[in-house]
Amino acid sequence: MVFFDGSHNSLNELSPTLETFHRLSGLEMNREKSALCTAGTDAEEQESLAAFGFTQGSFPFRYLGLPLTHMKLQKSEYSPLLDAISNRFNHWTTKALTFAGRLQLISSVICSTVNFWISAFMLPKACIKQIEGMCNHFMWSGDIAKKHGVKVAWSTAPCW
C-alpha cells in the first residue's frame, strides 16, 4: 500500500519509485490488481491518474482479504468471514470426526480465522452470535444445519 499527496509532482515520482522497488526486491506491482483510491480530487486530477495507467478505485476496498473502511462494518462486509467459516464447516461435515476432533478444528482453524478479523475490526455482535451458533451446531451435532445439542459458553472457552 502506497500513500502520496495526489499532486502531479508526486504522481510523476510514483512510477520511478515503483520501478526502483521492483529492481531492488524483484517484486513487481500487478496493475490489473491495483487501483488508486483518491480523496478530494477533481475530474482533472482523476484524468491524469488514468493517463498514468492507473485504474480509479473507491472505498471501501479489500486489503489482505479484509475490507478497509473507517466506518462500522456492514453485514455485506463481514459476510465473507461467515461464508468462509460456513464453507469450512460444510467441508468437515463429510468427515467422521470425534467430539475431540471437532473441538480441535474449531479451536485451531475457526478461532484463528476469527482472530485475524478481530485483530483489524470490532466484529458486530450479530456476526459473533452467528459464528458462535455455527460452532455450537458443529460441535454437538457435527453439522451446522442441525440445530440441537448442548450450548457452549464461548465467552469462557479459550478461543477469543
What's the rounded Cα separation, in Å, for the pair 105 and 88? 10
Residue 26: CA count within 13 A, CB half-sphere: 0
> Using N-to-C axis directions, what is the helix angle for 111-118 and 75-93, rounded to 10°?
170
Spans of all domains in the chain: 8-58, 66-141
The pTM for the full model equals 0.60
Instruction: Give tens-digit pLDDT for 83-123.
Output: 999 999 999 987 788 889 999 999 999 999 999 888 888 88
- Model confidence at 160, in pLDDT bands (50, 70, 90)? low
What's the rounded Cα separation, in Å, for the pair 155 and 147? 20
Asked if the model's pLDDT at residue 50 lies above 90, the reply is no
Instruction: Give tens-digit pLDDT for 10-40.
Output: 777 888 888 898 899 998 888 777 777 777 6
For cell 455485506, the residue is 76
- Model confidence at 134, in pLDDT bands (50, 70, 90)? very high
